[in-house]
Amino acid sequence: MNTIGRYLRVSVVGGSHASHVGCIVDGIPPGIKIQYEEIERLILLRKPVAGLGTSRVEEDRPEIISGVKDGYTDGTPITILIRNSDIDSRPYIRLKDTPRPGHADYTAYLKYGERRDFRGGGIFSGRMTAPIVVAGGIAEGVLHLRGIRVVAHASCIGGVHAPEIRYEKLNSEDLKKLKDRIAGSRVRCHDRRASELMEKVILQVKKGKDSIGGTVSCAIIGVPGGIGDPFFDTIEGEISKWMFSIPGIKSVAFGSGSECPAMRGSEFNDPFEVKNGRIITSTNHSGGVLGGITTGMPIVFHVNVRPTSSIGIPQKSVNLKTQSPAIIRITGRHDPCIVPRAVPVVEACASLCILDTLLSAGYKFTGE
């Protein structure tokens, strides 16, 4: 199915080389003012950076054709369309019968056969995330009504790690400055020195016609404690489902989840304390979640992004019709690293997931 969510339902439509990509968002309450600046911020973060990303340049001007009247939601499904204009399907036609390693070409063939849309990866393409960031911008505007903020950044590319952020120490002004630094980085990293090193890694693999992966870290700040359900509807499970809808995501870890196999309980456990009349934890190795339920601390998680599948190095494949061996060389326009462009997508999906969870739990969102 191409639909996700429980109360807030998001469906994607279109394809990488179709006339449009789009999504339908059902469940946003009526009377919510659309925060167009949030939408524009995420759209700009997703655009490729000259020299580091693909040369395919789409205008990405969203058309909201239903669900919004005079800048406010009207309670009906919000339909978002984005036109595809910079399309060249020739490299994909040439490889129609030889699946590209790392792509969904072969599994799409198994599921859809000759009727599949192979141009640019069809619905499996990262192009499908363009309308998702628009929907995420709408969701972030709704979350702001309850003081909830979401921020994502590139925390690792090719072994270069950015300094860790203590999200629980950030006030609203700190958070604004953090987002400004991320937006000002060509790789969407908050640290200037790490950004420079990450750029060098990307340019190096690009020169060798190869690709590189990395990690996007995300924090959801201001979510009240007690959100989520055991045993099968945990908040980690819901967030992970949204994250794995993003093309190229291969693993998700919460808090110190990647480091915990080498830690002791005395190191990993988060001690409780009272601060300003509120129970908090002095550390946040659990990522703001215990037993699948939020603690009230920032929800912190990390998604690992695979190296871009399309590379210029010759690779082994097979001909689907003759089942004979084949060597293919992928041409066309591709990002040597998709981590920077995944940053706003992770943020958008996190916003949509948390809004869906809160709406499902009965939380109300009204006013501007």
Per-residue pLDDT tens digits for 90-116: 888 899 999 999 999 999 999 999 999
pLDDT of residue 332: 79
Average pLDDT for residues 256-275, to the nearest whole number?
96
- For the segment 163-182, the average pLDDT, to the nearest whole number, is 94
pLDDT of res. 57? 83
What share of the chain in percent tops pLDDT 70? 99
83: exposed, middle or buried (Cβ count in 10 Å: 0-12, 13-18, 19+): middle
Helices (H), the chain: 36-46, 90-94, 105-112, 129-143, 172-184, 192-207, 235-243, 265-268, 339-360
Express each pLDDT in 199-211 by its tens digit: 999 999 999 999 9
Which CATH number is 3-360 given? 3.60.150.10
Angle CA 185–132–71, to nearest 5: 95
More confident residue, 11 or 87: 11
Element (H, E) at 162: none
The mean pLDDT value of the chain amounts to 95
* Stretch 124-144: mean pLDDT: 96
Average pLDDT score over residue span 74-89:
94
Q: Which of 286, 20, 266, 269 is nearest to 130 (CA)?
A: 20
If you average pLDDT over residues 290-296, what whole number do you get? 98
Q: Name the residue among 238, 29, 23 with its Cα closest to residue 136.
A: 23
Q: Who's near 199: CB < 8 A, 6+ residues apart?
A: 52, 186, 187
Is 70 exceeded by the pLDDT of residue 39? Answer: yes
Q: Are 212 and 307 in contact (CB under 8 A)?
A: yes
Contact yes or no for 132/140 (Cβ under 8 A): no
Q: Per-residue b/e over 163-193, b at no fewer than 16 CB within 10 Å?
A: eebebbebeeeebeebbebbeebbbbbbbee
Q: How far is CA 331 from the centre of its chain?
A: 26
Q: What pLDDT is stored for residue 180 in this prediction?
A: 97
The tokens for 177 are 């400055």
Residues 256, 260, 265, 271, Cα dihedral to 10°: 0
| Residue pair 22/131 in contact by the 8 Å Cβ criterion | yes
Residues 293, 273: Cα–Cα separation, whole Å: 18
The span from the CA of 285 to the CA of 258, in Å, is 10
Cis ω for the linkage preceding 118 (within 30 of 0): no
The pLDDT value recorded for residue 303 is 98
Is the confidence at residue 368, as pLDDT, over 70? no
Collapsing DSSP states into helix, strand and coil, what is residue 279? strand
Residue 367 pLDDT exceeds 70: no
pTM for this model (two decimals) = 0.96
Quote the tokens at residue 190.
Answer: 């908050």
Half-sphere exposure of 262 (CA within 13 A, CB side): 3
Confidence bin at 355 (pLDDT 50/70/90)? very high
